[in-house]
Amino acid sequence: MTIMEQGGGAPQAAPDLIKDTTTQTFVKDVIEESKRQPVLIDFWAEWCGPCRQLTPVLEKAVRNAKGRVKLVKMNIDHHPAIPGQMGIQSIPAVIAFVNGQPADGFMGAVPESQVNAFIDKVTKGVPAPGEPNIAEILAEAEAVLADGDAAGAAQIYAEVLALDSTNIAALAGLAKCYVTTGAIEQARQTLGMVPESKRNDAGVKAVQAAIELAEQAQSVGPVAELEQKVAANPLDHQARFDLATALNAQGKRSEATAQLLEIVRRDRKWNDDGARRQLVQLFEAWGGADEATVEGRKKLSTILFS
């Protein structure tokens, strides 16, 4: 049956977005295809009045989604095996498949607004063909920054923000680029664009910690002078604390960790547990997966629980 016959005059949709399937082609049309983008399967029958109401609404919504989702229709009278296996007992029934698995669904001839909301839900984060993939662009920016090109990464993050000015990962990433280049005030201004409700985002908190550490580093003095102070008096915990801050500003994470761990080992209570709290801030700024964070946490645990 054509779309015109089912939908009372709805125009034929592009075949790559909307198609009929059979028991034999179900795996290819629905399960395999859903590994590329979400697929809706519409179980219907010719005698079903609500089906004739829902189908054109589904087709319109799928076309409006511009390739983020596909629609596959199955006549349960002609092909009863699949709906039987899936426990479909009432039609119309629409099931969304994502990554090869049924993810959500609804029954009945629901209104257009509800269909649109359903499609928005199952296609969240899925770019339409030709649209930029934000997740891939963010991953590229992160890799560029990791390679030491803060300016290049900042440009990529700015491109993401041109598409989505409220993207939290891009705001945090751009702020991190500014911290890396020493533009602390610009970093702070960028983080200020993050809504209050998103301030607990891990990426945002990491950059906030990095900003605070960078500001501390501006007031502690040169590494060489601090090393001389510590060598002259190993019990000068403030000098050792400042040395750790300065070392971190130079990217010497393991060395900074070692100095703070030494304070914890010698005097856990110094400055209201300040050395341990500074370590926690360093770990937050570096990120949980950073090698220096992983090793530092292990060594801190050994000291604290020995």
pLDDT digit string, tens, across residues 162-207: 888 889 999 999 999 999 998 999 999 999 999 988 888 989 999 9
* CA atoms within a 13 Å half-sphere pointing along the CA-CB vector of 194: 25
Which regions of 76-198 does DSSP assign to beta strands (E)? 93-98, 101-107
Q: Please say if 48 is a catalytic residue.
A: yes
pTM higher than 0.75, yes or no?
A: no
Q: Which of 39, 41, 48, 292 is catalytic?
A: 48
Q: Is the peptide bond prior to 222 cis by the omega test (within 30 degrees of 0)?
A: no
User: Quick check: 63 and 55 in contact, CB under 8 A?
Assistant: no
Using the predicted structure, report yes or no on whether residue 123 has a pLDDT greater than 90: no
Q: Which residue has the tokens 């301030």?
A: 199
Q: Reduced to 3 states, what is the DSSP secondary structure of residue 75?
A: strand
Q: Which of 51, 76, 230, 244 is catalytic?
A: 51
pLDDT digit string, tens, across residues 56-69: 999 999 998 888 89
pLDDT confidence band for 128 (50 / 70 / 90): low
Q: What is the pLDDT of residue 12?
A: 42
Q: How many CB atoms lie within 10 A of CB 130?
A: 7
**Average of per-residue pLDDT across 121-138:** 76
Q: Please say if 177 is a catalytic residue.
A: no
d(CA 75, CA 265): 72
Return the closest-CA partner of residue 210 out of 126, 282, 258, 260.
282
pLDDT confidence band for 8 (50 / 70 / 90): very low
